[in-house]
Amino acid sequence: MEQLTAHDPRRIGQFEVLGRLGAGGMGLVYLARSAAGRRVAIKTVRAELAEDQLFRVRFSREIAAAKKVSGFYTAAVVDADADAPVPWLATAYVPAPSLEDLVTECGPLPVDAVRWITAGIAEALQSIHQVGLVHRDLKPSNVLVTEDGPRVIDFGIAAGVSHTRLTMTNVAVGTPAYMSPEQARDSRGVTAASDVFSLGSLVVFAATGHAPYHGANPVETVFQLLRSETDLSGLPEELDAVVKGLMRPAPEKRTDLASLQSDLAPHLFARVDEGDDDAVQWLPEVALDLIERRRHRRSARIAAQPSVAAPVPSPASPVPPARTGAPAVTRDPSTAPSLRPAPAGPPGRPGRAAPDEPVRLPGVSVPITPGPYAAPAIPPPPAPEPVNEFLAQGARAEAGPAPAALAVPSAAPAVPPPSAAREVARPYSPSAASAAATGRGAHRGAPARESGGGDGGGEAGTTSGRWRPWRFRMSNDIWTRPVVWEGTLFVNSFEVHALEIATGRRRFKTRDVAWAMAVADGRVHAADGPSLYTVAATDGGETWRTGLNGWVYSIDAGGGAVCVGSRGGGVQVRSAIDGSEMWRADDAQQEYENPHSGPCVVGESVYYRGSGQLHAIDLTTGRRRWSRRVGEDVPSRPVLAGGVLYVTAGNQVLALDEESGAERWRAEGQVVLFTPPALDEAGGLYTADYLGTVSALDAATGELRWRARTGGARQGADPAVVAGGAVLVASGAVLYAFGAEDGRERWRYSARGEISGAPAAADGLVHVGSRDHSLHTLDLATGRPRWKLDTGGEVSGSPLVSGGRVFACSKDRCVYALDAAKGTAR
């Protein structure tokens, strides 16, 4: 649970707000309690929807229907107000992990456990469908798992959105990885059969640990869904018939819920002992432990909230002791300083690092040297030391015995005297335990700033003066690729976090959510939806804030201006200095509305698409320079080079004059191109379509130089990367390198899972993430692997290389900072 900010309400209706539980597509979710002490989860509706009267009417109807839903496996609707300035819906609060958390932390569930959860969800859906509702957003995070069965939440609210003006811009309501094909085409006319398809997707996730559709971005995921390219790898044979029956493309042919329950009943009843059918019968011990910890942890947090501010100890007062737990381990106890205890974890599992803390990584990346055409052979890992989370997550020691364990920060650090500066970066030294206790401090209503020794100007936080790899764990998922500016790494994880590259220490984080982010000229621009705000990149101090008429989905900045795209075709350009409006437009309606397709600043102009046309507008004056019909709207950014603008539109590549928009040449590809072209200094232009075909054109004439195919359908929306005379493109689990001059294949490298994002190349090395939970680094000339780092989750998005360091984000909610040439080795 997050603390309330200055902008959060303290009361909603009759309920006292206690804290933030998170955020979703509808808006923020709060934990609150009634006058009688009953806890509820309140979902508020974002301002964009609240302004839509049609939404309010439908929302009111759906609330009335949702209150009629009764059933053991649903979270009851307690109260709601569709007429409030900010509409809200309160449901019974269930202190339990979601199915997403359960599978992510404990791994895929056994077959019988999947059947047990599936039967409970099916019964919940029957209760929902009986009152005329369709869930429309059934996904792992909307299913809570308690000791006596699953609970389906967030029903009855998604329906109101699917009939609002949002669908006029083809914004699908739901989560692409779990929605039905008919919902992806038009969410307004879906029936109960759509929830049945989503239930099949949940079965796949629970049994395998991955979604049936998992593209690199929502567009790619929808492509896979509409083409029925379902990933059932790892699905147990016993569940194959269940999944295929639920996920038939034709809605009318899917297994109905009553038949599903009849099929599951014999398997469930056979294992029930004396009528006891709770989780003890079905879930593994590690999952039961997580459920127990989640219930008690959240209860403890609420009970521990003081009614008045706690007194601050004076310098003469004794310092309260830190929480007890498993002590940190060092090789030489006689020389080790006093370390904070590591948090206790479930039986058989290592302690988990506290969120929002930097953790120094020991030298555990693996130098590997197999041939370039095979997945690298990885030796079995040494036994991990229980307090070193990084080793326990599967990283391998480079040589010799495992290095000394690293103290992991606990949730409640020891409180230092007020006069003492707190260190927040902890280096790792294999010869002696040199880690120091860390602490965090934040002032309510202001950006959360980290205090401590070291300013980030030098190699602070290390004992030897050398930079060392680190990892920073976030409290939430990481949304976008990191951005580097002046020694600081900016990451969007619910809020914008500024991490000091030299030490891994967090300098600050924004006090508000940031759905979109851009960094330029020493400023961080972000939007929480209907509001745009700017903070200083050095300390997070807010410089200006303004409300916008619409929901922001993209931000770009440059030339002293910030350019935003808002739902429904809006474009606004404001001064980056004070936020004053420079100009606006409302003709940017397009089929795709995502950060890749939004208005962008290129050179001295703003380019945006609308109704099949590309518009070029002067950045500072708003004067229309030219508009040109280019055909289909596609989510790709124009590329400017030498006075020529290169644009992809449908299956075509166009070269347009920057000043007049006149067409210089046009070349046609085989299928639709969803990525911008890549250019090199030799006058080559390269495109990669989503089927895996790479085309090389002459940038001056558009003449086709060569065309090469990868081994299979690429199904990606990431551009080709040109570096060192090679064109790099990923297709499935394989990274290909083609010669830029002749298109001949130079090498290929196979990972153990699908490549995620585009590769990053610099200094003769190629870095690429994979869904095998690894970051791979290869030699650019030969494709031979140099080192590999295993993380605690799928590497998401593209790595970033800067200053001899590579930064990667993982679905374990961590940012990794590594030496580009050596990984974590020193």
Residues that are catalytic: 137
Phi then psi for 350, rounded to 5 degrees? -70, 160
The pair of structure tokens assigned to 312 is 């601050």
Contacts 24+ apart (CB under 8 A), 790-793: 790/393, 790/394, 790/395, 790/396, 791/393, 791/816, 792/393, 792/394, 793/104
Quote the CA–CA distance of 386 and 253 in Å, as a whole number: 50
Asked if 527 contacts 539 with a C-beta cutoff of 8 angstroms, the reply is no
CA-nearest of 34, 160, 168, 164 to 90 is 34
Output the DSSP codes for 713-727.
Answer: -----PPPEEETTEE
- Based on its alpha-carbon atoms, the radius of gyration of the chain, rounded to whole angstroms, reads 27
The C-alpha angle with vertex 513 and arms to 511 and 516, in degrees rounded to 5, equals 125
Amino acid, single-letter form, for residue 492: N
Quote the CA–CA distance of 630 and 655 in Å, as a whole number: 11
Residue given tokens 């809006």 in the structure block: 570
DSSP class of residue 820 equals T
Distances in whole angstroms, Cα of residue 523 to Cα of each of 388, 486, 496, 510: 36, 11, 12, 12
Amino acid, single-letter form, for residue 668: E
Query: What is the number of residues in the chain?
Result: 826
- Measure the CA dihedral 646/650/651/656, to 10°: -20
Distances in whole angstroms, Cα of residue 253 to Cα of each of 119, 191, 232, 247, 436: 20, 13, 20, 9, 62
Burial class (CB in 10 A: 0-12, 13-18, 19+), 432: middle
Q: What kind and span of H or E run contains 531?
A: strand 531-536
Provide the β-strand partners of residue 514.
none
Task: Name the region of 282 (left: φ>0; alpha: ψ -120 to 50; beta: rest).
Answer: alpha
The C-alpha angle with vertex 488 and arms to 485 and 492, in degrees rounded to 5, equals 90
Asked if 559 contacts 518 with a C-beta cutoff of 8 angstroms, the reply is no
SS3 of 345, please? coil
CA-nearest of 605, 728, 609 to 678 is 728
Count CB atoms within 10 A of the CB of residue 307: 4
The pair of structure tokens assigned to 284 is 């593994």
Asked if 648 contacts 630 with a C-beta cutoff of 8 angstroms, the reply is no
Output the DSSP codes for 453-516.
Answer: S--SSSSTT-SSSS---EEEE-SS---S--EEETTEEEEEESEEEEEETTT--EEEE-SS--SE
Output the DSSP codes for 758-790.
Answer: EEEEETTEEEEEETTTEEEEEETTT--EEEEEE
Quote the CA–CA distance of 370 and 784 in Å, as a whole number: 7
Provide the β-strand partners of residue 554.
565
Amino acid, single-letter form, for residue 411: A
Quote the CA–CA distance of 50 and 250 in Å, as a whole number: 35
Quote the CA–CA distance of 254 and 247 in Å, as a whole number: 7
Residues near 310 by Cβ (< 8 Å), separated by ≥ 6?
A: none
